[in-house]
Chains A and B, each alone.
Chain A
Amino acid sequence: MPTPYRRDGLDAHPFRDDPAYLSTKLRHPIEPLIPLRDPETELAEPFLGAGPIGPLDHDLTRQHAGEPIGERIVVTGRVRDGNGTPLAGQLVEMWQANAAGRYAQAEDGHAAPLDPNFTGVGRCLTDDQGVYRFVSIKPGPYPWRNHDKAWRPAHVHFSLFGTAFVSRLITQMYFPGDPLFPYDPVMKSVTDEAARQRMVSSFDLDATVDQWATGYRWDIVLRGPEKTLFEEAEVA
């Protein structure tokens, strides 16, 4: 039997049917989800064939001939599972808009300039303490068509796997104090205030590099396995 994964705390996730975010309307299932308990496959850990990580994959400011325009930042934090265990060697993928709020993707029609020195894609592995670290520039907010004067708060997309297919997570990291928070239906799809705050990074002096970059800390918690009776006894 595979190790079961914890189900407590899963209500931090958004409901898929969210009337304020119009694109959910035709894209959420109506039928109830079928409970799938202790499945061998979904509780196993995928082997990722994404190839080796290049030496500059974590530094989005050094992937082109010149430097991107924008406010240089370091984004770092620790990846843990729901039991607090640091997850070493985890693939962390991130992507973002440039400083003007434009993505390097052809479909992005926002009337803001592309930056020839910025793609906005980063990848790295967590170290043996579960720590990831990216160097980038702060993304700009950008408009979308969800409602009148709809602007997304500045954010960085993150993708992680954790220790099983059921701990897969795609989410967005926000920056502290953004005035757009109260108007953003994507962020507000997380209805619990404490859970919502877990998507917001904090300015961090330790991560800040003198004369070079401001630092933001953002820790990530992925769904973890249930503890065995043996482990419970150890804690007690």
Chain B
Amino acid sequence: MNVQQITPAQTIGPFYGFALPYEGGPVVARDGDVRVHGSVFDGAGALVSDALVEVFQADPDGALDGGLFGRCSTRPEGSFAFTTVKPGPTADGCAPHLAVIVHARGLLLHLHTRMYFPEEAQAHAADPVLAAVPKQRRHTLIAEPDEGGLRFDIRLQGGDETVFFDV
């Protein structure tokens, strides 16, 4: 095959809530001691209450085979929360992170971003992916500790727009 004839993406739409979320979806790792939570915001700063957030990460040893996956809707209140474990670095020099996908009504093709851990400032300085991100935008990829665990808000557009990747 020459050019790969891929099937194009279409929006997840507003009415996936009875179909895609599943019991245990927000549990990335059983007995995980890390809670990652946040909200998705649109360009006007309004909560996006019909997004679907998916995460994929290495295990604590940095292994990705049998890697850990989670899925959580922001319905109906506009926020998501995952229970997980902190991943190990996937390679020398890579800071621990979650790969994150955002689907939503109004998003014709999902978005890729990443969440990094706030206590890893030293590893962040050496991480090649973060190095490619303009310094003033890097903070959008780094979760903030709060009373609920680690807060990771996703801003689809506008001031403080989250960094999204062309993967």
Contacts and interface: CB of A to CB of B under 8 A. Distances in A.
A9 B8 CA distance: 10
B99 interface: yes
A42 interface: yes
A166 B167 contact: yes
Contacts of B110: 168, 170
Contact of B6 (A26, A39, A46, A221): A221
A107 B15 contact: yes
Interface residues of A, number: 75
A27 B101 contact: no
A161 B112 CA distance: 14
Nearest to B24: A49
Given A8-B4, A10-B6, A39 B109 contact: no
A82 interface: yes
Given A28-B157, A39-B129, A168-B110, A51 B90 contact: no
A45 B156 contact: no
A15 to B, nearest CB: 7
The number of chain B residues touching the other chain, given as a range, is 35 or more
A155 to B, nearest CB: 8
Nearest to B58: A41
Given A41-B90, A82-B4, A107 B56 contact: no
A24 B8 contact: no
A64 interface: no
Contacts of B23: 51
B165 A103 contact: no
Contact of A21 (B1, B69, B106): B106
Interface stretch (B40-48, B117-125, B144-152): B40-48
A127 interface: no
Contacts of A121: 18-19
A82 B1 contact: yes
A39 B127 CA distance: 12
Contact of A34 (B27, B99, B166): B166
A29 B157 contact: yes
B78 interface: no
Given A31-B161, A189-B10, A26 B42 contact: yes
A42 B167 contact: yes
A129 interface: no
A29 B108 contact: no
Interface string A186-199: 11011000111011
B36 interface: no
B14 A9 contact: no
Contacts of B13: 157, 172
A223 B56 contact: no
A26 B1 contact: no
Interface of B: 1, 3-20, 22-25, 27, 42-44, 46, 48, 54, 56-58, 64-70, 90-91, 94, 97, 99, 101, 103-112, 114, 129, 132-133, 137, 156-158, 161-167
Given A105-B17, A168-B110, 17 more contacts: A12-B5, A16-B108, A24-B106, A28-B156, A29-B161, A33-B164, A39-B129, A40-B94, A41-B90, A46-B67, A51-B24, A93-B19, A95-B16, A104-B18, A107-B17, A221-B4, A221-B7
23 contacts: A13-B109, A16-B108, A23-B11, A27-B42, A28-B107, A29-B164, A31-B164, A35-B132, A40-B91, A42-B99, A44-B64, A49-B69, A50-B25, A82-B5, A93-B20, A95-B18, A103-B15, A119-B18, A159-B20, A166-B167, A172-B10, A196-B8, A223-B6
